[in-house]
């Protein structure tokens, strides 16, 4: 019976049925197959209970903050500030793409949203400067993977909600890995810059730099408020999302005066649409996880993996390999919701810090955006930048290798992840 359900799952997946529907349909098929009507009758309640969590309220609020900042001209000022700072060095526009993505990661928290937006902004600009379109698109996509690492992060919110881990602690743990990824990609660009002789842009004057810095100060209020508020204990991660949305509205509407009232309906519609997509996926994945628990699959996996090795280093290696493979065929959020209930008993057995493990699993699944055949980031950037999919995959390979290399550094160097949360007692 289990084999039949697994076949149905992969058959629906290969038919390109949306992953949320795949999870829900497979679960219902299982309940009918085993003839357990009690579980079927309880399914609606289970769908609701999967969303009945205060931490999930941060998702629509952070999405709203990102939409308000886009509509209010905040993101364009962040990109411009990065450009006047380092646009004049060799490969300067490539560095700008990385640094601008790190700035925006503290606003959007979604790699897909960031990849889509930056593809519209940076790829045409890099083409004008003489950069290869495939390289520009690959760089933009790869740089966007820092979005779910640097706080605020939607994927951290979901992991924290599912695992009972401190969301504030996860936010703080993501800061150092996000910086490491930025530095790693910058070093890669430096090597590629000398190999391909990247061009330099015109150096900005001191007055231009100062003017850009003054204009970007209000834009930096949002990430500063989020981090300072959580660190000081003034408010929770969820409350910080509401405050970030309020500040983004004030800055865009009254300081930059680019957030017009006519934009508000579109912003709200985009927020509601994106939120509905994510919450529907969470609800479907919740009943799918319920089915997995009923079949005692987590216990079987725990038993199997502990029998292979009792060494936590070997366990983390196996986890990374498994997640990298799954990230190539499953949506990151769906995989996260399915796997967290499976892994939580394991990390307890191997005495691994749940915050450190949360960073590892989230980075793993984010790297999945760069890996074919189901890397959603590849499809998004390929469509927006009008680059052939197979050429984009080839151009992304150096960044993918660097991303995996840094992943293993973060996996086995716990101090790089945990030193900020440990200092703050989170």
Within-domain flag for 16: no
- The predicted structure's pLDDT at residue 359: 92
Domain boundaries, position 377: 22-33+42-424
Q: Which residue has the higher pLDDT, 173 or 81?
A: 173
**Does the structure show a pLDDT above 70 at 200?**
no
Rounded (5°) CA angle 223-67-256: 70
Give the per-residue SS3 of the chain.
CHHHHHHHHHHHHHCCCCHHHHHHHHHHHHHHHHCCHHHHHHHHHHHHHCCCCHHHHHHHHHHHHHHHHHHCCHHHHHHHHHHHHHCCCCCHHHHHHHHHHHHHHCCCCCHHHHHHHHHHHHHHHHHHCCCCHHHHHHHHHHHHHHCCCCCCCHHHHHHHHHHCCCHHHHHHHCHHHHHHHHHHHHHHHHHHHHHHCCCCCCCCCHHHHHHHHHHHCHHHHHHHHHHHHHHHCCCCHHHHHHHHHHHHHHHHHHHCCCCCHHHHHHHHHHHHHHHHHHHHHHHHHHHHHHHHHHCCHHHHHHHHHHHHCCCHHHHHHHHHHHHHHHHCCCCHHHHHHHHHHHHHHHHHHCCCCHHHHHHHHHHHHHHHHHCCCCCHHHHHHHHHHCCCHHHHHHHHHHHHHHHHHHHHHHHHCHHHHHHHHHHHCC
Phi, psi at 32, each rounded to 5° = -70, -40
Residue 331 pLDDT greater than 90, yes or no:
no
The reply to whether 226 falls in a domain is yes
pLDDT at residue 76, as a whole number: 74
State how far the alpha carbon of 33 is from the alpha carbons of 65, 262, 306, in Å: 44, 52, 31
Q: How far apart are the first and last CA of the chain?
A: 44
| Exposure on the CB side of residue 221, measured as CA atoms within 13 A | 19
Q: Which residue has the tokens 């939409």?
A: 67
Q: Is residue 95 part of a domain?
A: yes
Residues 298, 303, 306, CA angle at the centre, nearest 5°? 120
Q: Which of 116, 157, 152 is nearest to 245 (CA)?
A: 152
> What is the C-alpha separation between 21 and 41, in angstroms, rounded?
19
* pLDDT band for position 172 (cuts 50, 70, 90): confident
- Cis check for the bond before 373: say yes or no (omega within 30 of 0): yes
- Per-residue pLDDT band for 17 (boundaries 50, 70, 90) equals confident
In this predicted structure, the answer to whether residue 355 has a pLDDT above a threshold of 90 is yes
Torsion of CA 138, 139, 141, 145, to 10 degrees: 140
pLDDT of residue 252: 84
C-alpha to C-alpha distance for 213 and 312, rounded to whole angstroms: 46
* pLDDT beyond 90 at 411: yes
Do 411 and 360 touch, CB atoms closer than 8 A? yes
Is the model's pLDDT at 256 over the cut of 70? yes
CA separation for the pair 309, 290 (Å, rounded): 28
> Which pTM value belongs to this model?
0.73
pLDDT band at 201 (very low <50, low <70, confident <90, very high): low
In a domain, 3, yes or no: no
Q: Percent of the chain at pLDDT above 70?
A: 86
Query: Across all residues in the chain, what is the average pLDDT?
Result: 79
Q: Which carries the bigger pLDDT value, residue 300 or residue 142?
A: 142
**What per-residue confidence (pLDDT) applies to 276?**
80
Residue 284's pLDDT band (cuts 50, 70, 90): confident
Q: How many CB atoms lie within 10 A of CB 361?
A: 24
Predicted confidence at residue 306, as pLDDT, reads 66
Mean pLDDT of 263-283: 81
Q: Confirm whether 281 is domain-assigned.
A: yes
The pLDDT of 25-49, averaged and rounded, is 78
Of 180 and 309, more confident: 180
- Report yes or no on 1 lying in a domain: no
Q: Please tell me the total count of domains within the chain.
A: 1
């Amino acid at each position: 019976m289990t084999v039949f359900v697994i076949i149905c799952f992969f058959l629906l997946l290969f038919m390109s049925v949306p992953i949320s529907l795949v999870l829900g349909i497979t679960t219902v098929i299982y309940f009918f197959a085993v003839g357990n009507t009690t579980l079927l009758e309880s399914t609606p309640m289970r769908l609701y209970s999967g969303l009945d969590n205060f931490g999930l309220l941060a998702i629509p609020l952070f999405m709203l903050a990102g939409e308000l900042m886009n509509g209010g001209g905040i993101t364009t000022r962040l990109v411009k500030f990065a450009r006047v700072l380092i646009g004049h060095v060799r490969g300067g526009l490539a560095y700008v793409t990385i640094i601008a993505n790190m700035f925006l990661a503290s606003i959007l928290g979604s790699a897909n949203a960031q990849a889509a937006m930056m593809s519209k902004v940076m790829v045409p600009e890099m083409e004008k400067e003489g950069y290869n379109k495939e390289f520009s698109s690959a760089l933009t996509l790869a740089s966007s993977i820092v979005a779910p690492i640097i706080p605020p992060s939607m994927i951290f919110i979901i992991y924290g909600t599912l695992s009972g881990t401190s969301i504030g602690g996860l936010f703080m743990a993501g800061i150092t890995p996000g910086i490491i990824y930025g530095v790693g990609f910058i070093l890669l660009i430096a090597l590629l810059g000398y190999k391909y002789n990247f061009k330099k842009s015109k150096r900005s004057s001191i007055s231009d730099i100062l003017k850009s810095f003054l204009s970007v100060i209000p834009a930096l209020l949002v990430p500063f408020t989020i981090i300072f508020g959580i660190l000081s204990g003034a408010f929770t991660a969820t409350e910080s999302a509401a405050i970030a949305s309020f500040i983004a509205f004030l800055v865009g509407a009254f300081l930059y005066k680019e957030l017009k009232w006519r934009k508000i309906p579109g912003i709200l519609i985009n927020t509601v649409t994106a939120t509905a997509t994510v919450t529907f996926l969470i609800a479907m994945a919740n009943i799918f996880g319920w089915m997995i628990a009923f079949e005692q699959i987590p216990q079987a996996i725990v038993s199997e993996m502990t029998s292979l090795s009792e060494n936590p280093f070997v366990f983390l290696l196996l986890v990374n390999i498994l997640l990298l493979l799954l990230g190539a065929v499953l949506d990151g959020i769906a995989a996260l919701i399915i796997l967290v209930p499976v892994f939580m008993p394991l990390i307890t057995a191997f005495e691994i810090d749940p915050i450190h493990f949360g960073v590892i699993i989230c980075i793993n699944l984010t790297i999945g955006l760069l890996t074919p055949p189901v890397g959603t980031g590849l499809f998004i950037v390929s469509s927006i930048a009008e680059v052939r999919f197979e050429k984009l995959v080839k151009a992304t390979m150096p960044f993918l290798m660097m991303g995996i290399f840094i992943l293993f550094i973060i996996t086995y160097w716990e101090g790089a992840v945990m030193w900020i949360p440990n200092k703050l007692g989170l």
